[in-house]
Amino acid sequence: MDIPLRQRSDIAKAARVVVKVGSSSLTQPGGHLDVNKLNYLVRVLATHRLDTGEVVLVSSGAQAAAMGPLNLPTKPRDLATAQAAASVGQGLLMAHYTQAFQIFGLPVGQVLLTAEDVLRRSQYRNARRALERLLSLGVVPVINENDTVATDEIRFGDNDRLAALVAHLVHADVLVMLTDVDALYTAPPKLPTAEKIREVHRFDEVEHLDIRARGSAVGTGGMVTKVQAAAIASSSGIPVLLTSADLIEEALTGADVGTWFHPTGKRLPRRQLWLAYAAEIAGRIIVDEGAVRAIAERNASLLPAGVVRAEGDFKAGQPVEIASREGTAIARGLSGYSSPQIGEVKGLSMDEISAKLGEELAHEVVHRDELVVMARHRRLK
């Protein structure tokens, strides 16, 4: 769709939606698939697909669905059992999705991804091509993390952020995140003081909220990863609706349900997305107040004059975090200098650097094209 969705009601005409559904919404407490819930979800998604637009489903639940069949009392914590459970449960999930979508004449395609697939240049293109082809063939892609081969080092571990990156990958109009609560609340929803949040315009509105409590024994990330996922998608121009799986029909028909995260920025290039959410940071560059403002408000490059000090040991070209004197992360970027070099150029003007160290060392510390401002510091467009 050319015009970005502005409000919930626009979902009813979204040409391409990514829907993420969590384990707790697909399985019974005993660790088997909840066939009724699954069938309901499929009915609503199939209706949207047939009447309105394309659907990409990011479905969790593989490990939870294998608990019953494998007699596992809890969701596995060790990597090997988690991998085995994912292998068994993924088959069960896909068998069910295949059957349920078939009733509506819709083929489904399983897509198992790792973090690398959605963030590294070559794999990103490959994943994008495969998904586009599936969609053009009329298939409903059903995506999960490739848990059976993902190691602790390379896995996301939660499908919330994976769904946000998939939404970016396929240029979705909206990301709908389904869980077991109807919205984001100001505190864990079991508490009497918890109030529903209907709309989020900026991430500093939700940063202070108490979102760490886990709701179910099978869910993975709780609200923390959902809010992070909403930040990833909305800061890249994709609005997010967070609500419960029971309200999927209302959500896709544009009813007034859930929490709506307004887009807070334009689509980010993949490289900046990688920098912001996946790159491993090699060190930190502490900057003064003027540099904080220049970066966050004017989208400027970081110049040596604004640098207070470097922390950690890094080489030129490595990803670093840019933080204020108080330690607040402002941005991330690729450093133009090694950490020892920063010790020499910090606080100096370009002329001073040229005179002291030579012209070739007089350049930006982090060039604006290789810098991404963290979502909460970005201004609403």
Ligand X SMILES: N[C@@H](CCC(=O)OP(=O)(O)O)C(=O)O
- Contact between 213 and ligand ADP by CB under 6 A: the answer reads yes
* Amino acid identity for residue 231 in this structure: A
List CB contacts of 136: < 8 A, sequence separation 6 or more: none
Total binding residues for ligand X by CB under 6 A? Answer: 17
Q: For residue 253, give the nearest of 44, 57, 25 by alpha carbon.
A: 44
Q: For residue 337, give the nearest of 376, 297, 285 by alpha carbon.
A: 285
Site for ligand X in 103-162 (CB under 6 A): 144-145, 147, 158-159
DSSP codes joined into one string, 27-74: B-TTSSB-HHHHHHHHHHHHHHHHHT-EEEEEE--HHHHHHTTTT-SS
- Contact between 220 and ligand X by CB under 6 A: the answer reads yes
* Minimum separation from the CB atom of position 112 to ligand X (A): 9
SS3 of residue 234 by DSSP: helix
- Contact between 62 and ligand X by CB under 6 A: the answer reads yes
Stretch near ligand ADP under the rule CB under 6 A, chosen from 68-76, 211-219, 269-277, 368-376: 211-219
For helices 35-51 and 79-102, angle between their N-to-C axes, nearest 10 degrees: 50
* Minimum separation from the CB atom of position 22 to ligand X (A): 4
Q: Are strands 140-145 and 199-200 parallel, antiparallel or unpaired?
A: unpaired
Nearer to ligand ADP, 83 or 179 (CB): 179
Nearer to ligand ADP, 211 or 287 (CB): 211
- Pattern 149-188, binding to ligand ADP, x per CB under 6 A? ------------------------------xxx--xx-xx
- Contact between 215 and ligand ADP by CB under 6 A: the answer reads yes
Nearer to ligand X, 64 or 291 (CB): 64
> Tokens 């596992």 correspond to what residue?
72
Contact residues for ligand X (CB under 6 A)? 22-24, 60-64, 86, 144-145, 147, 158-159, 219-221
